[in-house]
Chains A and B, each alone.
Chain A
Amino acid sequence: MITLTRARTGTGNGGIAARRAVFRWGWRLFGREWRQQLLVLGLLTVAVAAAVWGVGVVSNAALSNPNAPTFGAAAAMAKLPGNDPKLAADVATIQRTWGPADVIENQNIATGTNQSVQLRAESPRGHFNAPLLGLVSGAYPAGAGQVALTSQVAALYGARVGGTWLAAGMTWRVTGIVQDPSNLSDEFALVAPGQVRHPSQVVILLGPAAANLAGSDATLPGVPAAALTTPNEMVSAFPQAVLVLVVEVVGLAFIGLLSVASFSVMAQRRLRALGMLSAIGATERNLRLVMIADGLVVGVVGALTGTALGLAAWVAYAPTLQRATDHVVDPANLPWWAIAIGAVFAIVTSVLASRNPAKAMAAVPVVAALSGRPSPPKAVRRSALLGVIAFAVGVAILARYGGLSGLPGGGGGPGSARSLLAGLVGVIVGILLLAPLGVSVLIVAARPRLPVAIRIALRDLVRYRSRSGAALAAVTFAMFLAMAICLVGSERTDNPLSPSVPNLSSNQLVVTAGRSPAPGMMMQLTSAQEASLSRRLDSLAVSLHARSAVPLESAAGLLQAGTSLNNNFGGSVYVATPQLLALYGIKTSQIAPRTDVLTAWSGLAGLSNMELTWQGGGVMDGSGGNGGDATPCAGSGCLANPAIETISSLPSGTSAPDTLITEYAVRKYHMQTRLSGWLIQAPAPLTASQIRAARQVTLAYQAPLEIMSGAAEFGEVADIGTAVGIIIALGVLAASVGLIRSETAQDLRTLTATGASTGTRRTITAATAAALGLLGAVLGLAFAVVGSLVSTHGRLSALFGNVPVADMLLLLFGLPLLAAAGGWLLAGREPAVISRQPLE
């Protein structure tokens, strides 16, 4: 017999008990339906894992202090030659006057091979040499006759810990294996201080007191034999992990948009159950909590799984990175704060993505929910207005702080990273809110003349706009980013006077013929130093399998007269020596006889009022040699309207010498040339150890060395952006079209019952994917044009002046075609009715 239980002791307003009950149900539902959420779970897991791995790589790829391989933790370094007659006295003077100091005595020893090995005497407990010395196994040598070898030296001689090693006329007992953590190619045998009998060089690491002496003189007062050097590489205070987080946020934005679609489907599946929950007294907040709890669980599981996978991948990859970078990589050396923030981002993304579907479902009237009827589409006017505002704010932030302009070149500090992040978030929100309006446009396109399958596809996109809107937003954003990269890059390279090129190629290095004792200072090398450095660079070039170190000579500069700002040519102008032309494969016969300037920049030849200026000589106008419109030059050593010829063989898109004065002009106008530097172009990208060898050479002369930085060429960036944009968009389409079609599975069954063939089903899916792809590409282009124009303050012609046409066409038309082809191939099989709403 039924018994009524009348003991009510609840609070009447739900409270924690209600939230706990609802959360428990959400958790159970996740346990039952996690397979339906594998897409979101997988994407979150991959994003977090990639971020953890990426954070590990960028934090460990470069040494936190790039000067460590040479200076350790010291602020200055003095070198004394081994043949210094007062060696011991000088060392003592330096220690006494500028100490504390670490004294390192080196003696080169013959190995019988072309590998050089140093016998090195230093204390393992020095003040500054911790980054230069580490014990791998065994013990440090403590007294006479003891030695610790690097693993390479031990292998070379077949020595082992506890055994003996015969070198430098002595038999040594091997006490341990050591390494230089900052330079694993450094091969040496460590002995106790004072055990090197005939040092070829003594290196003394010094503190800041000695560093203050650098700049005025390269020697230490009272110790003329000592050559003093100081670090000239800037230690970046900007944590590279922040850039990885920015990339992760952009990636999570895509995933968030996809997750909205996925959570909408889940909410739809649970509509009747939510209706029942409401019927027994759940409040709207309770109903929302069911879906938000789902988002939270998905986010937490994705974040934890992704972090675990990312850490595992990082630990597995660390040895490879160590081999590639030639310095010790500690797998535990991770910015844990960045990993924690990345995991929190993933959870927040999932929760935010579940919030809107939760809100929408909670607002469905109970009776409609119980009958499983979806709520009618919302009016889009308000969200469109908010979308316009959010997009405008995002673009304004990018414009104000130059965030979008920084895309191809990268760089910047925390401020630009934050503005880039804030600007992109604004753009994402704007596009997300505007997407439903975009979907509504499709109903106009669904004309009766179109084949029925295409009409059904277009109308279904409008019917299920909560899904298709989110998918369209994700595709649009992917296209926006890819197209913005192309357009901004085009704008940046449009001004031939300010060629914005970030970088040398990976196989090039340029050494400046000057001495930079401290950052920002530049002094001339003596003739003897130039000759000596030239010889060393030739040897280096040979070791890099390059022809030689090509001298770079300067003679004149280029400018445009009559403009108020930035009228100087931004690039370097060198003399077109036969060596340099040969390096680029340019024959003299390719150059017009009376050409003054050769350039890779196509726009430069078309500029009016150009002037070539140099030291000394008289004023020349255009009539002198070239006949063009003469613009009087302001002073001596000036040629108006020089003959400029565009040569496609010159390198473009890099900062390698690409604008040259012909020898004809040098001779005709009696220009004086001077050595500016050397260019070495190797046949293959330079390795870490090759770059380190080059640094060692230039450091001896304090000559600045330029190599490829982390930034890529514009063409590469555009290609990569296009490829990544299309891959992401296709991924989004694959996931969202699958969701949309699965929701219409019952319609499809009806269609099949009325005689629709496999071809019809294929056409519907292909049309759905193509329509979303094309609309996303068109909207992405529109947003990219508006965003790029505003953020670069540029002109439309400049945006499209150097735009990579193939990339743009691929984005605009290739994506829809690929989407249609993919939809056609993957459709056909009648999908299972996964939109059935479970309620027992």
Chain B
Amino acid sequence: MSMLELRQVSKVYGHGAAEVRALRDVSLEVAPGTMLAVMGPSGSGKSTLLTIAGSLEEPSSGQVLVANQDLAVMSRNDKARLRRQLVGYVFQDFNLLPGLTAAENVSLPLELDGVRARKAREAGLRALDGLGLADRASNYPDQLSGGERQRVAIARAVVGDRQLLLADEPSGALDSGNAETVMRMIHAACRQGVAAVVVTHDAQLASWADRVVFIRDGRIVDQTAPAAGPESLLAQER
């Protein structure tokens, strides 16, 4: 069973002379517990693939299934529920909500799903603790460093029982050290059964993935299982 499946997905923006084909007949599958890296040049359609996979955009044609649910037959509210319960997002520019503390940002998806504030906060604190941010839980986003903000964003993306993590250049705004940490955390989430799709330019970071897909002009031009990354060395040591 796959957590995410795209079947012959295409996406066209604009009409006539202004028409842009962002994706052309893209098909791929991501199984639970695996991490897929998507690479390609700017404008190749990587981010479009991610937004369509996460139900933020609708494809022009093709079929998208998340946890075997067809997004095409879902209402906007059903898609919102899907995002609350199954899909977590991590963006390059963190996208934390101003005015909410780190803990409140993390627990927000649970509260939106109807979890009582206290329980949601407990879950949020646990998620932050797991990412080493327990002592920063009461800080507002503008009081956190870039690396800390992205870790909070990851905590928000995995809090609850999210099963699909979509990350768009999650390390794009971070230095190499923090970038490495973020990838390690996403990888750790995958080890616990989460399926992850990570868009990145950085081949070094893509090496954390179980599989890498190359996109150019909206088409998958290649996909490969990457060489064993640093994590594999750790695994060997164990």
Q: Report A's interface with B, CB cutoff 8 A.
A: 1-15, 17-18, 20-22, 24-25, 28-29, 31-32, 272-273, 276-284, 286, 365-367, 370, 838-840
CB contacts (< 8 Å) of A14 on chain B: these are 112-114
Q: Which of B96, B119, B189 contacts A9 (CB 8 A)?
A: B119
Asked whether B194 is an interface residue with its Cβ less than 8 Å from the other chain, the reply is yes
A366 nearest CB neighbor, chain B only: B56
> How far is it, in angstroms, between the C-alpha of A7 and the C-alpha of B185 when the chains are bound?
20
How close is A156's CB to chain B, nearest CB, in angstroms? 67
- Contact assessment for A8 and B129 in the assembled complex, using a CB-CB cutoff below 8 Å: no
Q: A9-B116, A839-B96 are in contact. List 18 more A-B contacts (CB 8 A).
A: A4-B162, A5-B126, A5-B160, A8-B110, A14-B114, A17-B111, A17-B113, A24-B100, A276-B97, A278-B80, A280-B89, A280-B156, A281-B113, A283-B77, A367-B56, A370-B91, A840-B95, A840-B142
Contacts of B185 in A (CB 8 A): 2
Residue-by-residue, is B37-72 near A (CB-CB < 8 Å gives 1, otherwise 0)? 000000000000001001011000000000000000
In the bound complex, residues from chain B placing their C-beta under 8 Å from that of A279 are: 54, 56, 83, 89, 95
Interface residues on B, range: 35 or more
Partner of A6, one of B129, B160, B189: B160
Chain A neighbourhood of B215, CB < 8 A? none
Q: Are B83 and A4 in contact (CB under 8 A)?
A: no
Q: Is the CB of A2 within 8 A of B189?
A: yes
Count, A-B residue pairs, CB within 8 A: 167
Interface residues, chain B, with chain A CB atoms under 8 Å away = 51, 54, 56-57, 76-77, 80-85, 87-89, 91, 93-100, 104, 108-117, 119-120, 123, 126-127, 129-131, 140-142, 144, 149, 154, 156, 158-162, 185, 188-189, 192-194
Compute how far the CA of A283 lies from the CA of B80 in the bound complex, rounded to whole angstroms: 6
Using Cβ atoms and an 8 Å threshold, which residues of chain B touch A2?
127, 130-131, 154, 158, 185, 188-189, 192
Instruction: Determine if A12 and B77 form an interchain contact, defined as CB atoms under 8 angstroms apart.
Output: no
Q: Complex: how many Å from CA A838 to CA B95?
A: 9
Which of B87, B116, B189 is the most central at the interface, judged by chain A CB atoms within 10 Å of its CB?
A: B116
Given contacts A3-B127, A32-B98, A839-B93, contact A282 B113 (CB under 8 A): no
Complex alpha-carbon distance, A276 and B188, angstroms: 24
* Inter-subunit contact B112/A282 (CB<8 Å): yes
With a cutoff of 8 Å between Cβ atoms, the chain B residues found around residue A282 in the complex are: 80, 112
Distance between Cα atoms of A839 and B91 in the complex (Å): 12
What are some 29 contacts across the A-B interface (CB < 8 A)? A2-B188, A2-B189, A7-B123, A8-B110, A10-B110, A10-B113, A10-B120, A11-B114, A13-B81, A17-B114, A17-B120, A20-B111, A21-B104, A25-B100, A28-B99, A29-B99, A276-B95, A276-B96, A280-B84, A280-B112, A281-B83, A281-B84, A281-B109, A283-B81, A367-B56, A838-B98, A839-B94, A840-B98, A840-B149
Shortest CB distance A361–B (Å): 14
A5-B97 Cα distance, complex, nearest whole Å: 21
Q: Is the CB of A12 within 8 A of B81?
A: yes
A691 to B128, CA, bound (A): 79
How far in angstroms is the closest Cβ of chain B from A362? Answer: 10
Query: What residues of chain B lie closer than 8 Å to A367, measured between beta carbons?
Result: 51, 56-57
> Are the C-beta atoms of A839 and B161 separated by less than 8 Å?
no
- Contact (Cβ within 8 A) B188 A1: yes
Question: Bound complex: CA of A278 vs CA of B55, how far in Å?
Answer: 11
Least Cβ–Cβ distance between A367 and chain B, in angstroms: 5
- Docked-complex contact A12 and B85, CB < 8 angstroms: yes
Min Cβ gap B92→A in Å is 11
Chain A residues within an 8 Å CB radius of B154 = 2
Q: If the complex has contacts A839-B97, A840-B96, A840-B149, are A18 and B111 also in contact, measured as CB distance less than 8 A?
A: yes
4 nearest A-B pairs in the assembled complex, by CB-CB distance:
A281-B84, A840-B141, A11-B114, A28-B99
- Most A-side CB within 10 Å, residue of B94, B97, B116: B97
Q: A4 and B194: CB pair below 8 A? A: yes
B80 touches A281 (CB 8 A): yes
CB of B81, distance to nearest CB on chain A (Å): 7
Pairwise interchain contact B114-A272, C-beta atoms closer than 8 A: no
Complex CA–CA separation, A4 to B155 (angstroms): 9
* Contact across chains for B57 and A284 when beta carbons are under 8 A apart: no
Within the complex, the shortest CB–CB distance from B94 to chain A, in Å, comes to 6
For residue B80, give the distance in angstroms from its CB to the closest CB of chain A.
Answer: 5
Given A5-B126, A5-B159, A8-B85, the answer on whether A20 and B117 have CB atoms closer than 8 Å is yes
A10–B160 alpha-carbon span in the complex (Å): 10
CB contact between B115 and one of A1, A8, A24, A838 (< 8 Å): that residue: A8
| B98 surroundings in chain A (CB, below 8 A) | 29, 32, 273, 838-840
Closest to A274 in B: B97
Residues of B within 8 A of A9 (CB): 115-116, 119
Determine the distance from Cα of A282 to Cα of B156 in the docked complex, in whole angstroms: 14
The answer, among A12, A21, A28, for a CB contact under 8 Å with B111, is A21
For B162, list chain A residues within 8 Å (CB). 4
Q: Please give, as numbers and ranges, the residues of chain A lying within 8 Å of B104 by CB-CB distance.
A: 21, 24
Instruction: State the Cβ distance, B148 to closest chain A Cβ, in Å.
Output: 11
> A370, B77: Cβ atoms under 8 Å?
no
Please judge, given known A-B contacts A31-B99, A272-B95, A284-B77, whether A4 and B109 are in contact too, CB under 8 Å: no
